Amino acid sequence: MYLQYFGLNENPFSIPPDPQYLYLSRGHQEALAHLQYGLSEAGGFVQLTGEVGTGKTLLIRALVERLPEGVDVALILYPVLTVSEFVAAICDELRVPYPGERASLKHLIDALNAHLLRTHAQGRRTVLIIDEAQNLSREVLEQIRLLTNLETTKHKLLQIILIGQPELSYMLAQQDLRQLAQRITARYGLAAITHDETRYYIAHRCRVAGARRLLFKYSALHHVHVLTGGIPRLINILCDRALLGAYTHGKSMADVSIIKRAAKELGSSAIPKRRVIPWTMAATSALAVVLAVFVWYGWPSWPRHSSSGESVGQAVPSAAPSAMPEATATPAAAVKPVSAEANAATSLPETAAGLEKALASPAARTDTDTALKNLFDRWGVNYTTLSGGTGCERALKAGLQCIYQSGTWNNLREHNRPAVIELQDSSGTKHHVLVSALTRDTVSLVMGDMSQEFAVQAVGRLWFGKYLLLLKPSLPKQGILSLGDRGEAIINLRDALARYRGEPLPANASDVFDKELQIQLMQFQSRHHLATDGVAGQITLDKLQVYLTGKSPTLAADNKSAEAR
């Protein structure tokens, strides 16, 4: 109803989980990293819990969209099933044929096991994701535990991610479910978003929906967080009603009165009333003054335009900077308005709006070939002289291994190699840029001959996880190295582990995979949160890749050809 009035393409606060609207707060980034860690583990469980409305289902949708090649997913969204129905649902998701309603549980398990063995032989992995897992019966939970027994001599055939409300943790803590709980290799509890993240969450959703100006007053955003406690679903419900109220009353922005009226109309069933303890009221008032000053100076700008096309007033933020300035008590008389131009000059590079401005700059070149040329330059290789239809084909000609997949900033940090990432701006245009340096809070992007540093969260608003990087394929890509193996590959393995420990490779290094080497490998796996099985599979070898002999570029600022650690 209000979309045309506010210049929106669609409802920014629609309840269905659309991955396009995913706002990666710090908590959501960590949760997504845990889920992706579960995909890289060789068996076991990953558990993600969170209160109703914190965004668990949206994270699942985003995870499925970011899956690397070679991963099959069975996604169970309605787990209130009998044991046979549950296994049949998994078979349906994986398109495993079975004899319909006549199939016994044994028939279903046999069909599933045969399918998993076939896909494993093809080099594929299978992941079972169960949403609303707190509704699973004990019989189904026991069957899930038994499904992890489907395995080869060295690998589990099924990885399982359990998503549920906090009650799931209480269930798994019960004595009769201890065998299942002991198999959980990673746990994460998703919390509500913070006050600052609430502001940026609302701005992000408005921007994705097409907003070109501020739709909420700053004070109104503060009240949204207070009333909803930072629960994304409640924020959506309240903001949707607030925009409807602003439209009904002919207002261009939702203010505090609109927010309060919207909360009252929704009632306590939708927006629970949050009590203020009397003795905290004075502290709350003081905090409100500090927040007012903080909001005045701390909010980045997004120029909004009048009908004449001129920039007016403050702007809507599209992403949070990694670290907001500290709020300090300032006398009211000392607080002076900051012009939109001045604010933009200092804040835009830290926001997604500033990043979009840089991408649109005439000096920026964000086509695929330019980004790949910059990447190959980091390796001292001339991209234009190599033959091949794709960047990965050209990489092979240069003796390099190409890695193209989806992940998070943590994945890039672990690889510690320059990478080309794909960004998508608010108009839907895709850009390919080079990540040349990456810290905890900042990322340096190379766009043709132009280089600029941005906040990690700002770039994350436009990045949906796709990246391409290069590695030296010195360790074997086929097979597995284990106790008793011998050959040159074992020497390379010893070399990589020695470099990891900061030691030289002994002159008389053995080419036999002995017990001592197995212990060293298990220590490395434990430190890097891998399965500590003492077997050098492809995931372990990929982690060891950065410790190999030879010069390779790293994600170190102003260092195009630093030696690998």
Instruction: Identify the three-state secondary structure at position 556.
Output: coil
Q: What is the pLDDT of residues 355-405, one digit of tens each?
A: 888 999 988 999 999 999 999 999 888 999 888 888 888 888 877 778 887
How does residue 287 score in pLDDT terms, banded at 50, 70 and 90?
A: very low
CATH of residue 461: 3.90.70.10
Write down the pLDDT at residue 411: 77
Residue 306 predicted with pLDDT over 80: no
* DSSP conformation class of 187: E
Q: What is the pLDDT confidence band of residue 283, given thresholds at 50, 70 and 90?
A: very low
Residues 92 and 231 in one domain: no
Q: What does the pLDDT read at residue 550?
A: 54
Whether the predicted pLDDT of 153 surpasses 70: no
pLDDT classification of 351: cutoffs 50, 70, 90: low
What residue has token string 């308005």? 337
Task: Identify whether the C-beta of residue 151 lies closer than 8 Å to the C-beta of residue 44.
Answer: no
Could you tell me which residues come within 8 angstroms of residue 359 by beta carbon, excluding any fewer than 6 positions away? 366, 423, 425, 431, 433, 447
Answer yes or no: is 560 within a domain. no
Q: Does 182 share its domain with 204? A: no
| Per-residue pLDDT reduced to its tens digit, 307-345 | 333 322 233 333 333 322 222 233 333 323 333 333 333
Q: What is the pLDDT of residue 311?
A: 29
Tokens of 147: 């499904």
Rounded to the nearest integer, the mean pLDDT of the chain is 77
232: which residues sit within 8 A by CB, 6+ positions away?
23, 53, 54, 55, 58, 192, 193, 201
Strand partners, 189: 49
Q: At 131, which CATH number? A: 3.40.50.300
Of the candidate ranges 44-48, 103-107, 302-306, 556-560, the one whose mean pLDDT is the lowest: 302-306
For the record, the structure tokens of 443 come out as 């990322």
Rounded CA-CA distance 386/264 in Å is 66
pTM of the model: 0.52
Whether 235 has a pLDDT exceeding 90, the answer reads yes
CATH number at residue 510: 1.10.101.10
- What band does 270 get if pLDDT is binned at 50, 70 and 90? low
Single out the residue in 142, 158, 190 at which a domain terminates. Answer: 190
What number of residues does the chain have?
565
The answer to whether residues 362 and 492 belong to one domain is no
Please report the pLDDT score of residue 187 as a whole number.
Answer: 83
Structure tokens at 133: 């897992």
Q: Specify the higher pLDDT residue, 560 or 210.
A: 210
Helix (H), strand (E) counts: the chain: 22, 13
Query: Is residue 323 situated within a structural domain?
Result: no
**Which residue, of 190, 209, 241, is where some domain finishes?**
190
What pLDDT is attached to residue 61? 81
Phi and psi dihedrals of 403, rounded to 5? -115, 115
Q: Does 493 lie in the same domain as 466?
A: no
Residues 116 and 264 occupy one common structural domain: no
Digit-coded pLDDT (tens) for 417-443: 999 998 887 776 889 999 999 988 899
Is the pLDDT higher at 107 or at 329? 107
**30 and 172 in a common domain:** yes
Q: What is the pLDDT of residues 497-520, one digit of tens each?
A: 887 887 877 777 888 999 999 999
Domain assignment present for 476? no
* Digit-coded pLDDT (tens) for 467-501: 899 987 655 555 688 898 888 788 888 888 887 88
Q: Are residues 184 and 40 in the same domain?
A: yes
Give the number of domains in the chain.
4
- Domain membership of residue 540 as a residue range: 488-547
The CA-atom distances, in angstroms, between 315 and each of 107, 135, 288, 308, 353 are 61, 44, 22, 17, 10
Pick the more confident residue, 64 or 104: 104
Which of 170, 190, 210 is a domain's end point?
Answer: 190
Spatial CB neighbours of 5, under 8 Å, sequence gap ≥ 6: 247
Same domain as 410, residue 458:
yes
180 & 220 share domain? no
In a domain, 342, yes or no: no
What is the three-class DSSP state of 116?
Answer: helix
In a domain, 127, yes or no: yes
Q: Does 267 share its domain with 311?
A: yes
pLDDT classification of 290: cutoffs 50, 70, 90: very low
Q: Which of 413, 454, 448 has its CA nearest to residue 433? A: 448
Instruction: Indicate if 106 and 231 belong to the same structural domain.
Output: no
Looking at the fold, whether 240 and 264 belong to one and the same domain comes out as yes
